[in-house]
Amino acid sequence: MEKPRITAKIAGRPLHPLLRPFVIGYFFAVCGCDLVYSQASIFAQNDAGDFASITEWLLGAGLVAAVLTGLVALIDFLGEQRFRRLPDAWMYAASGVLVAALALCNLDMRFHLGSEAILPMGLILSLSTVAVLLATPSRAWARMYR
């Protein structure tokens, strides 16, 4: 099967593989911060109000990056029929929507509850987001962009 033609490019380079690492990095950073916070003593957690705001910013930046990455992927997906015929295309799209929904729920909860939202639900949502990212078949998609 011939490789699909990339529609969304800048300076001849496909945009999707340039943006996706930012999404992964932001959401992994949130999960890492949540894991560190969960292992801190109760005294350290009480003084960590700023720590919760850091994860809010990371979630917000990750969601912005996810929306941009999703738009670029949608441009490629709609711009070339061969992308739509790839076996993992729909699962890849569904996992992207699921990651964004989990992160949005996590951000909303943290925005309203602050650092109280981190344990246990914030940590569970962060771990779920990372699990979906790890389960996404991104290697097959990465081959399309080479």
* Domain layout of the chain by residue ranges: 15-144
Can you tell me the distance from the alpha carbon of 109 to that of 29, in angstroms, rounded to the nearest whole number? 18
The model carries a pTM of 0.84
Summarised one tens digit per residue, pLDDT across range 112-138 is 998 888 888 999 999 999 999 988 866
List per-residue pLDDT tens for the chain, 146 residues long: 566 667 677 777 778 778 888 999 999 999 999 998 888 776 666 666 677 788 999 999 999 999 999 998 888 888 777 777 777 778 888 889 999 999 999 999 999 998 888 888 999 999 999 999 988 866 555 555 55
Distance of CA 73 to the CA centre of its chain: 14
For residues 102 and 128, the answer to whether their CB atoms sit within 8 Å is yes
Classified as helix, coil or strand, 121 is helix
